[in-house]
Amino acid sequence: MAEHLTWGILGAGRIAGVFARGLAQSRTGKLLAIGSRCEEKAQAFGQEFGAPRCYGSYPELLADGDVQAVYIATPHPQHAQWAIAAAQAGKGILCEKPITLDLAGAQAVVQAARRNNVFLMEAFMYRCHPQTAKLVELLRGGAIGQVRLIRASFGFHAPFNAEGRLFAKALGGGAILDVGCYCVSAARLIAGVAAGRDFAEPLEIKASGHLGSTGVDEWALASLKFPGDILAQLATSISLTQDNQLSVFGSEGQITLPWPWAPAREGGQARILLKRDGEQQAQEIVVATDEYLYGLEADAVAAGWEDKQAAPPAMTWEDTLGNMRVLDAWRREIGVMYESLEGSGRA
Ligand SMILES: NC(=O)c1ccc[n+]([C@@H]2O[C@H](COP(=O)([O-])OP(=O)(O)OC[C@H]3O[C@@H](n4cnc5c(N)ncnc54)[C@H](OP(=O)(O)O)[C@@H]3O)[C@@H](O)[C@H]2O)c1
């Protein structure tokens, strides 16, 4: 456990600002530095979010000996390069999801963290929220009997922009990597908890999807089969809005999280609906916290600092590697390739 951590952020984009706001509300973290590829952008970000040190390049931030932890908020294809550079600079790392474009990249990042003996966590913030802890508690307590089916969706309708991060292949576009990764991580968590573990790996993956004009998946489905015949149905999209819910069906009832992925960003109430078979109405379980979602994530980093990993249900290294393995398989099933991986033999 680290009582206090000084943070630097790499990439002054959209989520970096959201994280900076959450960090300011955390118990343990303080924003010290912002690194941007553009000096003026760094200055503007620093002013808006209260970062006293503003660097016009990422290497300059990594060379700052007072920065203990870095939050990597670049598009996915740049995650591996900067996570490895951060590890080599001795920084603890919170890296946005997906940790890299594929499993091989994730293995390289984990290896860098291990070799340099630094903290590493993939930034699935919902795993750090008490709503997820409550879901795990309900499942472990047998609230719905034996888990049999999981249904998860995460999809939104972004305006088409061939050059934008969501649609451009060169920037790791596509729904599976952007938000399908949440559905996979939730299914693996739930199937694991059902088996008395922290996560589980599917035995089978079947998928279909629509690839748009830029060659990335704009909407896609996957069916997963886990040990114990637990099945999961996952749906993701960047070109249509979905119900964005997580449901778990068991032998004695069902649990629904109406807003599982980004609960109560600035503190507040999250709701879990528990309906046991035979009951007329679902019971509403309210999970309330004053803490900001991204502040909780930063505090999870501090809590796991000495162990180099956060405690489940936050993402551990093995959990991240398992998640990436499934994302690789989902992409492969529907033919989503990234040129940046070509030549490495792992397009
Ligand atoms: N956990 C969450 O809630 C959440 C939500 C949204 C996104 N994300 C993840 O966060 C990452 C960033 O997403 P975002 O929506 O914040 O993206 P964004 O607004 O486009 O910001 C990304 C930033 O990365 C930097 N960057 C470095 N290399 C770049 C390149 N080659 N092209 C473009 N930008 C580059 C840029 O900052 P500088 O110009 O300052 O260097 C840019 O502003 C993604 O991996 C995404 O999956 C997570």
Residue 222 to residue 327: CA distance in whole angstroms: 10
Residue nearest to atom 21 of ligand 1 (CA): 13
pLDDT in tens, 305-318: 999 999 999 999 99
Q: Is the CB of 267 under 6 A from ligand 1?
A: no
Q: What is the pLDDT of residues 12-35, one digit of tens each?
A: 999 999 999 999 999 999 999 999
Taking only the tens place, the pLDDT of each residue in 288-303 is 999 999 999 999 999 9
**What is the reported pLDDT for 341?**
78
Walk me through the domains of the chain, giving residue ranges and CATH numbers: 5-124 (3.40.50.720), 126-341 (3.30.360.10)
- Residue 259: the pLDDT is 96
Residues 121 and 95: beta-carbon distance below 8 Å? yes
Is the CB–ligand 1 distance for residue 165 below 6 Å?
yes
pTM, to two decimals: 0.98
Q: For position 343, what pLDDT does the model report?
A: 60
Model confidence at 1, pLDDT cuts 50, 70, 90, reads: confident
**Residue 75 beta carbon below 6 angstroms from any ligand 1 atom:** yes
Residues 6+ apart with CB under 8 A from 231: 148, 149, 150, 223, 224, 225
**Each residue of 141-173: b (16+ CB within 10 Å) or e?**
eebbeebbebbbbbbbebeeeeeebbbbbebbb
Q: Please state the rounded mean pLDDT for residues 227-249.
A: 98
pLDDT digit string, tens, across residues 56-111: 999 999 999 999 999 999 999 999 999 999 999 999 999 999 999 999 999 999 99
How far does residue 307's CA lie from ligand 1's centre (Å)?
A: 28
DSSP-derived secondary structure for 214-256: TSSEEEEEEEEEEGGGEEEEEEEESBS-----EEEEETTEEEE
Q: Is the pLDDT of residue 345 over 90?
A: no
pLDDT in tens, 119-143: 999 999 999 999 999 999 999 999 9
Question: Quick one: pLDDT at residue 298?
Answer: 98
So what's the pLDDT on residue 342? 65
pLDDT at 142: 98
User: Residue 347 above 80 pLDDT?
Assistant: no
Ligand 1: centre distance to CA 64 (Å): 22
- Assigned token pair, 273: 């609906």
Given a contact cutoff of 8 angstroms between Cβ atoms, the answer to whether 334 and 208 are in contact is yes
Residues in the chain: 347
Spacing, Cα 14 to ligand 1 middle (Å):
7
Which residues have CB under 8 Å from 60's CB, separation 6+?
A: 35
Ligand 1 mutation target, pool 74, 95, 156, most atoms within 8 A of CB = 74
**What's the one-letter identity of residue 72?**
I
Give residue for tokens 């979905």. 242
At residue 206, the 3 state secondary structure works out as strand
Helix/strand/coil percent split, the chain, to 5? 40, 25, 35
Give tens-digit pLDDT for 235-244: 999 999 999 9
Q: Which tens digit of pLDDT belongs to each residue from 197-217?
A: 999 999 999 999 999 999 999
Q: Nearest-CA neighbor of 234 among 167, 187, 201, 200?
A: 187
Taking the CA of residue 34 as reference, the ligand 1 atom at the shortest distance is: 40
